[in-house]
Amino acid sequence: MSRETKGYTFIELTVVIFLIGLTLVLTVPRFRYAILTDDLKTTVRRMVGTVRSLRNEAVREQKVYSLRFDLESNRFWIESANMTDEERTGACEKAFQLPAGVRILDVWRREKGKEVAGETAIRFTKKGYIEESVIHLGTEDNRQFTLILSPFLGAVKTYDRYVDIETTL
């Protein structure tokens, strides 16, 4: 071969492939944990989606809905104002169970204050108004999220820490 042929040697290519592989081995598990398997973030995304879709449903169907929480068993479900007792029982039985490491710390509502035990509900009106409320979620390793529901805009603000609404008012 002539000296003017340009290219990479086998050793250079091997080193580059090794470094790319090492980078992937070190970063993919962290990425997968942070995006795909973080139960707290998944629960927050699900709850935000539920709030948005429930608000839209209330306006579209012209019904009053409630997002109900059982704070002791870490479950939530949807009820409509015109449901029968049998339908309410069925909705409660089909409630979304939060993952094992995630729990509802408390729910704050303007009318009731902070509730840490029992059942509570956030109302969604026919006009799309949401009862002003805050939902706090946490994990066993002390990570916390705050969801603040805006009454008129239907927006949900999320914070990756505990925001105490009572001290900010």
pLDDT by position in tens, the chain (length 169): 556 667 788 999 999 999 999 888 887 776 665 555 678 888 999 999 999 999 999 999 999 999 999 999 999 999 998 889 999 999 988 999 999 889 999 999 988 889 999 999 999 999 989 988 999 999 988 899 999 998 887 789 999 999 887 655 4
Give the pLDDT score at 37.
63
Give the pLDDT score at 165.
75
**Whether the Cβ atoms of residue 67 and residue 76 lie closer than 8 Å to each other:** yes
43 to 8, 62, 65, 105: CA distances (angstroms): 49, 27, 21, 13
**Whether the Cβ atoms of residue 152 and residue 162 lie closer than 8 Å to each other:** no
What's the CATH code, domain 39-168? 3.55.40.10
**Whether the Cβ atoms of residue 131 and residue 110 lie closer than 8 Å to each other:** yes
In whole angstroms, what is the distance from residue 111 CA to residue 145 CA? 22
In this prediction the pTM is 0.75
